[in-house]
Every structure is written in structure tokens, then in C-alpha cells.
Amino acid sequence: MKAVILSGGLGTRVQPITFNMPKPMVPIGEKPLMSYIFKVLKDNGFSKIIVTVSYKADMIENRYQTGEEQGLNITYALEGTVVNGEIVAKGLGSAGGLKNVHNFANFFDEPFLVICGDALIDVDFKTVMDFHKSHDGVATVVCKEVPKEDVYRYGVVVTDENSKITSFQEKPKVEDAKSNIINTGIYIFDPCVLDYIPNHQNYDIGSELLPLLIEKNIPFYASAPSFQWIDVGSTADLFEANMMLVEKKINNVTPYGDEIKPNIWTGINCDIDFENIEIIPPVYIGNSVSIEKGSKIIGPCLIGSDTIIKKDVTLEKVLIFSNTIIHSNIKFKNRILTNKYIVNPYGKYADIEEDNLHFLIDDARKKDIENKKMADIVNI
């Protein structure tokens, strides 16, 4: 079966993390979000995958290449061009990207899956495909029921008694919402849907293509299977998804490494003074992590590989990216820490370089770089 992963967005709501990587590459438990999507697709029998790429496309392409390591056949559709050796992103929108793919080689010759590259899911796609084939519609929108108070965050789907979609509401006020069934950005399309997408234009599925189908009275349906859907569309979502992983709240996903004590996982080659630190689980610690005496780690916490935590540091509900050093006598709570940024997941962030915050955290590799430079000088 065939699938398209939409991955061309700028990821502005996940900045500053996406200053350095495209959104599908943000880490959940030190593994790119995209890797989880590929696994779900493979487990559901999808083997031919096209990934639409634009912003920092080379990071996705270089990481997954042809898909051999994932047991998939993966190729890429660039939305943009190359100028002076650099990719200049020019997104075509979710629907425009599909049209771009199809115009190249008529890839879509059977019902196909379209999925956004910014969510953790465990959908039984066989059930969804069976639903699609049993209904006389050109498309199936995979939906999810959410608490009524959360509908303002999403596109609300309105259906009749036969699950036929009759209208949409884009992020309505709670009191105005006509249902609490929302669009998850996952679709099954018949190839004929592509005929309604204009060529060479930025065109969106949710706000343009689907309303057009309603306007033309072309039937399509909503399927609302029971599944876990964890949106990773913002820094807050990214933070909470990592906390959920450490708390073992993500279906079919457990922290990597050895569980040395209940709900405490560590990688290999760590230098941790367990006798003189305090760890309150759940806590994940990656490979080659150093934690000095006097430190206190209060879970849920996720500490990325090659991190150095100096003495007398206190961390509570913190996500630390790899290659970060935290200097002595520092306390952080409810933060994302990288070697470039200190991020309040629900608010602002600080740039370590611009704000001169190297005394708090920094790049853990700097010492190695300085040592290498000194060695090079000695060897001249």
C-alpha cells in the first residue's frame, strides 16, 4: 500500500527547536518523531512511502535515504528549489504537495494514505481502509473525539447519521462547536480527489480541498476509530510527549536502555555518582551522560546522550537535548534545555549566545573542541 507523509512545514510553533531541524525530526525519547511514523506505517502494511519535504529537507533525506533500514521504500518530493547550493523552501500546502507528487509520475493509482509528520499515533489502518472501501465516498477523514473544552484548538468535523461529512468548523469557540469530533490530519483518498486540486498552487486539504468537495456535493466520510493521537505541533506538545514517554503513557513505546531501577533507565558508558545524587523516577538517562555529586533529578525527566550535569544541580520535569552541559548549582523546572536555548515550553525562550547565558548551560562538546585545537597546535 502507498502513503504520503506531509513534512514540508516550517514548524514555527516548535521554535526555537525547529531553527535547527525540521519538525518531523524533533526527538521523542532521543528518536526522531518521523521514525515512529515510519514504524506505524510498516506495521500496517504500507511499504511505498513518499515524504513531501521543504524546510531543511536534506536532514530528513540524509537520515532515512531510500528507507532500507526501516524496511520501507521511501522517496521524497521537494517543495522548493536549490539556489547556490542551498534549499530554498517553497511549500505547496498539504493538497498542493499531493498534486506535485502525482504530476511527476502518476504515483497514486489506488486508495492511498495521507498523514502529517507531526503526531504520534497507533492507528489500526486496516480498519480505516476497510471503512473507506465499505463507504461510497472519495475520501475518509480519520477523526478523534476530544473533550468539548479542547475543540477550540482543532478543526471540528460535522457529520450526518451515516458518518458523511457535511461541514467543518475551524477552531470554533467552545460554545459554538457543533461537535467534539476533530480532524487529525490523517486521510484516505481515492486518486480521483487529485482532479480537484489546482496545479502549481499552494492549496490546503482541510481549509480548501475538503470544503470544495462539500460544495460540489461529492460524498466523503469520517472514521473515528479508537486510537492514541499525540499532536506534536508546538513546544508544549513536544515537551509533554517526552514526559509521557518517560511516564510510559505512549502506547507501544518504552524508554530505551537498561532499567537499572524501577522507572529509571540509563544508556551505556555513563559516569554517574549514584551514591551521592538523588534520582526520583521516572527518569531516562541517555548514553555517555555524566552526573556529578550533589545533583537531584526529579522525574519525569529525560536527559539526552552526551550530557554533562555538574555538581549540585537540581532538575525537575526537564527535557535535555544531547550534548548539553549544565553548570554547578543551577536549578531548572519545567524547561526544555538544549546547548543553544533555554525554553519555557509554554512561553518564551532564551538564546544562550545572544543573552550571554553560557554560565548556566552550554555545548558539552566545547571542551573537546578546545582540547583538539590545543593538540593540533602542539602537533604543528
- Give the residue-averaged pLDDT of 245-255: 94
Rg, C-alpha atoms of the chain:
23
Q: Angle at the Cα of 41 (from 198 to 160), degrees rounded to 5?
A: 60
Dihedral, 211, 135, 1, 41 alpha carbons, nearest 10: 70
Q: Which helix (H) or strand (E) holds 58?
A: helix 57-64
Instruction: Find all residues with CB under 8 Å of 286, minimum gap 6, and list them.
Output: 30, 257, 267, 303, 304, 305, 306, 307, 322
Residue with the three cell numbers 481502509? 129
HEC secondary structure over 180-195:
CEEEEEEEEECHHHHH
| Alpha carbon separation from 99 to 48, 77, 105, 191 (Å, rounded) | 17, 11, 11, 10
Q: How many residues are there in the chain?
A: 380
Is it the case that residue 369 has pLDDT exceeding 50? no
Q: Would you place residue 374 in the very low, low, confident or very high pLDDT band (cuts 50, 70, 90)? A: very low
Q: Report the pLDDT value the prediction gives residue 135, as an integer from 0 to 100.
A: 92
Cell 518504552: give the residue: 254
Beta partners for 48?
2, 73
Q: What does the pLDDT look like over 49-81, one tens digit per residue?
A: 999 999 999 999 999 999 999 999 999 999 878
Per the confidence metrics, is the pTM higher than 0.85? yes
Give CA separation, 245 vs 251, 264, 294, in Å: 9, 12, 26
Taking 80 as the threshold, does the pLDDT of residue 379 lie above it?
Answer: no
Cis peptide before 282 (omega within 30 of 0): yes
Cβ atoms of residues 123 and 225 within 8 Å: yes
d(CA 79, CA 226): 33
Per-residue pLDDT at 367:
64
pLDDT tens figures, 221-239 = 999 999 999 989 899 999 9
Integer Cα distance of 240 and 167 in angstroms: 31
Q: Could you tell me the three cell numbers for 260? A: 537499572
Cα separation, 93 vs 99, in Å, equals 10
* Higher local confidence (pLDDT), 88 or 116: 116
SS3 assignment, position 155 = strand
Q: Would the pLDDT of 247 be above 80?
A: yes
Q: How does pLDDT run across 264-299, given as a tens digit for each residue?
A: 999 999 999 899 999 999 999 999 999 999 999 999
Average pLDDT over residues 167-171: 89
DSSP assignment of 75-119 equals EEEESEEEETTEEEE---HHHHHHHHHHHHH----S-EEEEESSE
Higher pLDDT, 85 or 120: 120
Asked if pLDDT for residue 89 goes beyond 80, the answer is: no
Q: Which pLDDT score is estimated for 106?
A: 83
